[in-house]
Amino acid sequence: MTLQQLRFLCEIVHQGLRLSQAAAALHTSQPGVSRQIQSLERELGVVIFRRKRNRILALTEAGKEIVRFADRALREVHNIRGFGDEVRDSAAGDLVIATTHTHARYTLPRVISAFTKAFPHVRLRFWQGNRDEIFQWVEGGEADVAIGTDCDVTLESVALLPYGEFHRIVVTRASHPLLKEKDLTLEQIARYPLIAYGFRSNERWKFRHVFEARKLEPNIVFSAADADVSKAYVALGIGIAILPHITYKPALDKHLRARDARHLFGTEVTHVGLKRDRFIRSYVYDFLNILSPTLTRSNIQQMLNSHAGT
């Protein structure tokens, strides 16, 4: 048995049972991968892939189990590499962050700025995705850290560490009648054209059910891609928008006004996603500590070891 064989196996699985694609991803030849898998199967005496002629159809039950073991073995090997890097130079390396537009745009700039000043030799990379994708990327190992708000999919090996709160505001133009209302209500909001974001065309808008519960029909006149676009259209007078509170900064958004709407749409928790049982470079702890003072090294380790968020 070889680490190579295990790597090949896991990569094939990772690529959706496409051997050729795995070979490409591994920068090696198709026949090499094929032979290594065969040799592994021969050595173990176990058929890992169900095939039809020369096509891989599925993992056998035994194969699935073997992949799980192999994954863990490779993870430890990866950890050794990471630990070696840490020992050589604890302030240099890579950090891949998966996050959503909102966080990238509003919560991270401050963090990045402080971090790059402290760790100029860490190469930062960003993957931007939706709230589920980003955590899946961490699970798949493509990203080291995910920063996002909630997550609907279930994750095997990613721990979600809560670090902050997230609520909604209603953003309007400076002269909007809503600003004069004493207590903001759903009924009032429903009277005005609404700019929504955060959903694909064929999905339902996240807060639609809140209105429906009160038998209200929000008048969504525009579906934006992100908070910035929403604000731009609010400024144009197209409508009002319901946005995460962090997207509104009085100093920058001079033509806009915001009203707290957490009593209508509730609060959400912002999470950091980290893959369990992975060696964590010291600068990752530092990064997270800049993101939130509550995320200390010992807190993080404790949360990773507890089974919360599995």
Partner DNA sequence: TTCCATTACGGGGCACGTAATAATT
Partner DNA sequence: AATTATTACGTGCCCCGTAATGGAA
Specify the stretch interacting with its own copies by CB under 8 A; choose among 19-27, 67-75, 145-153, 251-259. Answer: 67-75
d(CA 137, CA 158): 10
Q: What is the 3-state secondary structure (H, E, C) of 214-261?
A: CCCCCEEEEEECCHHHHHHHHHCCCCEEEEEHHHCCCCCCCCEEEEEC
Is residue 6 at the binding interface for DNA, with CB under 7 A as the rule?
Answer: no
Specify the stretch interacting with DNA by CB under 7 A; choose among 21-29, 91-99, 152-160, 243-251. Answer: 21-29
CB 248 within 8 A of CB 171: yes
Residue 308 binds which one of its own copies, DNA, none, with CB within 5 to 8 A depending on kind? none
Using alpha carbons, list the distances in angstroms from residue 103 to 100, 111, 179, 264: 5, 11, 27, 22
Specify the stretch interacting with DNA by CB under 7 A; choose among 49-57, 141-149, 170-178, 200-208. Answer: 49-57
Residue 279 binds which one of its own copies, DNA, none, with CB within 5 to 8 A depending on kind? its own copies
Specify the stretch interacting with its own copies by CB under 8 A; choose among 66-74, 103-111, 196-204, 225-233. Answer: 66-74
Is residue 83 at the binding interface for its own copies, with CB under 8 A as the rule?
Answer: yes
Q: How far is the CB of 142 from DNA (least distance, A)?
A: 21
Q: Which is nearer to DNA, 18 or 259 (CB)?
A: 18
Residue whose entry in the numeric block shows the structure tokens 């929000």: 218
Specify the stretch interacting with DNA by CB under 7 A; choose among 14-22, 94-102, 134-142, 263-271. Answer: 14-22
Q: How far is the CB of 103 from DNA (least distance, A)?
A: 35
CB 167 within 8 A of CB 236: no
Using alpha carbons, list the distances in angstroms from residue 87 to 50, 74, 82: 43, 20, 9
Q: How far is the CB of 67 from DNA (least distance, A)?
A: 16
SS3 86: helix
Residue 42 binds which one of DNA, its own copies, none, with CB within 5 to 8 A depending on kind? none
Report DSSP state, residue 104: I
Is residue 60 at the binding interface for DNA, with CB under 7 A as the rule?
Answer: no
Both structure tokens of 156? 């095997």
Is residue 43 at the binding interface for DNA, with CB under 7 A as the rule?
Answer: no
State the number of binding residues for DNA (CB under 7 A). 26
Q: Which position among 52, 53, 87, 203 is part of the footprint of its own copies (CB under 8 A)? A: 87
d(CA 209, CA 206): 7
Q: Which position among 15, 79, 149, 188 is part of the footprint of its own copies (CB under 8 A)? A: 79
Q: Which is nearer to DNA, 1 or 153 (CB)?
A: 1
Going through the chain in order, the beta strands assigned E by DSSP cover 49-51, 56-59, 93-99, 122-128, 145-149, 158-173, 193-197, 219-224, 240-244, 256-260, 267-275
d(CA 222, CA 114): 36
Tell me which residues touch its own copies (CB under 8 A). 1-3, 6, 43-46, 62, 65-66, 69-70, 72-73, 76-77, 79-81, 83-85, 87-88, 279
Tell me which residues touch DNA (CB under 7 A). 2, 4, 17-21, 27-32, 34-39, 49, 51-56
